[in-house]
């Protein structure tokens, strides 16, 4: 594993991925042309496992109220029950639209390829997963603004 560029520490947060927290995330960042920099999956196994699978998504996005400067932001997803990561044929995981957050069957779905829906919303969890290349279903999560990447 390459440890030369560690994930930056938190600058602010964590903020819960609730309705209010998601609204704050989407108001703070412009995700058009944002870039997914890291996906970290971690899961404990065995009789002493204390938690389910977690995922950290680190995205470089532009801060709306600060001259559109780039800032890394992390989405930390807890108890990830399902996920899909397909290799991209195009440029390395550029986001064209903001992540789409939906709730179905008691789980939070985070879809990073939601541009296929346009202004519509999916009707169920299967619809979220069937067309996405990068999507997660978790019991909850948080987001945090991070310090800049080390050079």
Nearest residue to 56 via CA among 83, 29, 30: 83
Distance between CA atoms of residues 122 and 134, nearest Å: 15
52-81 confidence digits (pLDDT tens): 889 999 999 999 989 999 999 999 999 999
pLDDT at 119 (0 to 100): 58
Q: Which residue has the tokens 């944002």?
A: 34
Can you give the pLDDT of all 151 residues of the chain as single tens digits? Answer: 565 668 888 899 999 999 999 999 999 999 988 999 999 998 877 777 677 889 999 999 999 989 999 999 999 999 999 999 887 665 567 888 899 999 999 999 999 987 666 657 888 888 888 878 889 999 999 999 999 988 6
Sketch the domain layout of the chain as residue ranges: 12-146
State the pLDDT at residue 96: 82
């Amino acid at each position: 594993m390459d440890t030369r560029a560690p994930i930056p520490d938190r600058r602010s947060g964590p903020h819960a991925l609730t309705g209010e927290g998601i609204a704050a995330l989407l108001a703070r960042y412009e995700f058009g042309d944002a870039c997914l920099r890291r996906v970290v999956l971690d899961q404990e196994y065995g009789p002493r496992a204390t938690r389910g699978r977690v995922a950290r998504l680190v995205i470089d996005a532009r801060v709306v109220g600060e001259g559109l400067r780039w800032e890394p932001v992390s989405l930390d997803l807890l108890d990830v029950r399902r996920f899909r990561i397909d290799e991209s044929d195009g440029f390395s995981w550029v986001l064209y639209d903001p992540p789409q957050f939906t709730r179905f069957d008691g789980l939070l779905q985070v879809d990073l390829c939601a541009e296929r829906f346009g202004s519509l919303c999916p009707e169920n969890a299967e619809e979220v997963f069937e067309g996405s290349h990068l999507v997660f279903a978790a019991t909850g999560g948080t987001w945090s603004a991070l310090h800049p990447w080390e050079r």
